[in-house]
Amino acid sequence: MISETLTVLERGLKIMKSNSRMVLVAILVFVFPLIFVWVTQNFFATAYDNIDTAEKKRVAMLHDTIAAVLQTPGYQDELLSNLINYYGAENPDITKVRILKVTESGLLITHALREDLINSYDESTATFETLPGAVKSGPVIVPLQIDGVRVWQVFRQVQTDTVDYYVFSEHSFSMIDAVMAARRQESYYGLTAIFLFLIALAYWINRQTHWSVEHSKLQTQLRDRDLFSNMIAHEFRAPLTAIKGYASFLQESESIEATDKRYVSNIRTSAERLVALVNDFLEVARLQSGKMDLQMETIDVRKVVIAVAEDLKPTATEKGLSLTYKPGTKPLPVSTDKNRLTQVLINIVNNAIKYTNEGSVELSVQEERERVIIRVMDTGMGISAEDQKKLFAPFERVGNVEQTATTGTGLGMYITKKLIELLGGTIGVESIKGVGSHIVLSLPLE
């Protein structure tokens, strides 16, 4: 039986050593409560020592005062009686005070808290006769337990020129011990609460250990999924690019009929859409994996805005829209990745052109509170307040665009938001349904 117990303990220790969280749980559940009990016991032991020290000083003061009065020639009995009554009234723990005069007939009680004992003889003469010699120089304390209550009986012998006296007092610790017992009980209630809290905390930590394993498994699964998606996207892009190329070749060929060219054009358009979708998937995969490489440099952001506007002006003109820009006159340097910022602006302006049927698209750049603010404003269909909340979510297309001929993956604005955040900026939208939209980019000024 003992060997089996030792084997179980040994296995348990091995498991704990291999798991730091289990060690922490053991410390919380076992070590901390033991330390708390030890500290509590030491605290109460010190408290009792301090109480005893203070009580001894009070006892010595009482006996020294009475002895001084007795040794004063011609003292008055009334003064001694008043002194005893005062101590009894001010100190409820003093239950007995007696002054006994040594006579041939025995110990005569001359003064006492109980007036009915005065002028009677004490029956415990043998107790006084067996007191140690130290009783002549100071009070002697005899600790007792009377009816379960801790009591001190204190004796002192006072010698005068004519007669000897004994001073006797009894001190009860019932009130002090009751208070200390209540405090001890409260401390153990606190210990119980702490112990229950530590058990709950240990249980939570143990559950966290389990969740940590599950989290690790999930991270592995997500990483495998991303790798698989990345691989599939790469594998799709190669044949799709080939299909797109062959479709372009056939479209330019003069050996096929016009009807067939229309079919080839549809093939090319579909291939281009699939290539764009694959490219978006790859971009999302890079963003989510944190593998997006940035080439940071300080540039004048106005030049990027002008270049994007000039590049997309033919697209806007083809749709019957005017594309204008207001770059301002003051250079606006920012630290950014020029290519990624260009990608962001192209996507935003393309969207503005795509979803604006008539009117204009305008770009503006200005400085506001040490930041560069780029606005892309259009007179398109606008975005409702409800749709604005979903604008930057993946695979979300807002404004009932599914019911129109406008195509898209729903990833463009999601990618745009992630890219602008990587560049240290922010993106927001200001729009009224049916009036138009303002996409606002904010970048820190260099």
Is residue 70 a contact partner of residue 99, using CB atoms and an 8 Å limit? yes
Question: How far, in Å, CA of 41 to CA of 180, rounded?
Answer: 12
Residues 279 and 300 occupy one common structural domain? no
* pLDDT at residue 402 in the model: 46
Q: Are residues 40 and 164 in the same domain?
A: yes
pTM: 0.48
**Same-domain pairing of 279 and 327:** no
Whose tokens are 């005069």? That residue is: 101
Q: Which helix (H) or strand (E) holds 170?
A: strand 164-172
Asked, for residue 335, whether it belongs to a domain, the answer is yes
CA-CA distances (angstroms) from residue 347 to 139, 342, 364? 99, 9, 16
Residues 6+ positions from 194 with CB-CB distance below 8 Å: 32, 33, 36
Residue 303 and residue 279 in one domain: no
Domain shared by 265 and 313, yes or no:
no
Whether 188 is covered by a domain: the verdict is: no
- Is there a single domain that holds both residue 316 and residue 384? yes
Secondary structure class of 101 (helix, strand, coil) = strand
Reduce the DSSP state of residue 371 to 3 states and report it. Answer: strand
- Is residue 165 one of the residues assigned to a domain? yes
Residues 270 and 314 reside in one and the same domain: no
d(CA 445, CA 334): 5
- State yes or no: pLDDT of 152 exceeds 80: yes
Neighbours of 218 (CB within 10 A): 11
pLDDT digit string (tens) for 258-272? 777 777 777 877 777
CATH code of residue 214: 1.10.287
Are 126 and 39 in the same domain? yes
Q: Which of 27-36, 61-70, 136-145, 416-425 comes out lowest in average pLDDT?
A: 27-36
- Residue 26 belongs to domain spanning: 13-172
Q: Is residue 184 part of a domain?
A: no
Torsional sign, CA 197, 202, 206, 209: positive
pLDDT digits (tens, 9 = 90+) for 77-100: 888 888 888 888 888 899 999 999
The full length of the chain comes to 446
Average pLDDT over residues 392-416: 67
Collapsing DSSP to helix, strand or coil, 376 comes out as strand
In a domain, 220, yes or no: yes
360 located within any domain: yes
Q: Are residues 242 and 300 in the same domain?
A: no
- Which residue, 239, 238, 264, 266, is CA-closest to 249? 264
Higher confidence at residue 6 or residue 298? 298
Q: What is the CATH number of the domain that holds 333?
A: 3.30.565.10
Is residue 102 domain-shared with residue 75, that is, in the same domain? Answer: yes
The secondary element (H helix, E strand) that includes residue 377 is: strand 371-378
Is it the case that residue 257 has pLDDT exceeding 60? yes
Report how far residue 177's alpha carbon sits from residue 154's, in angstroms, rounded to the nearest whole number.
19
Whether 51 and 109 share a structural domain: yes
Residues 238 and 91 in one domain: no
Please compute, for residue 271, the number of CA atoms within 13 A of its CA located in the half-sphere on the CB side.
Answer: 18
Residues in contact with 147: Cβ distance below 8 Å, sequence separation at least 6, in sequence order: none
Q: What is the CATH number of the domain that holds 146?
A: 3.30.450.20
Return the minimum-mean-pLDDT range out of 50-64, 151-165, 233-247, 429-443. 233-247
3-state DSSP percent of the chain in helix, strand and coil, to 5: 60, 20, 20
pLDDT(241) > 50 = yes
Strand ranges of the sheet holding 140-146, from the earlier edge strand across to the other edge:
106-112, 94-103, 164-172, 149-159, 140-146
Distance between CA atoms of 255 and 339, rounded to whole angstroms? 41
Which of residues 144, 172, 200 is at a domain's end? 172
Other CB atoms within a 10 A radius of the CB of residue 103 amount to 11
Which of 230, 315, 237 lies closest to 272 in space, CA to CA? 237
Q: Which of 119, 143, 172 is the last residue of a domain?
A: 172
Query: Within a domain: residue 52?
Result: yes
Query: Do residues 101 and 77 touch, judged by C-beta distance below 8 A?
Result: no
Domain count, the chain: 3
Please tell me whether residue 445 adopts helix, strand or coil conformation.
coil
The answer to whether residue 419 is domain-embedded is: yes
Q: What is the pLDDT of residue 12?
A: 59
Q: Is residue 343 pLDDT above 60, yes or no? A: yes
Q: Which of 265, 287, 309 is the last residue of a domain?
A: 287
User: Is 56 in contact with 142 (CB distance < 8 Å)?
Assistant: no
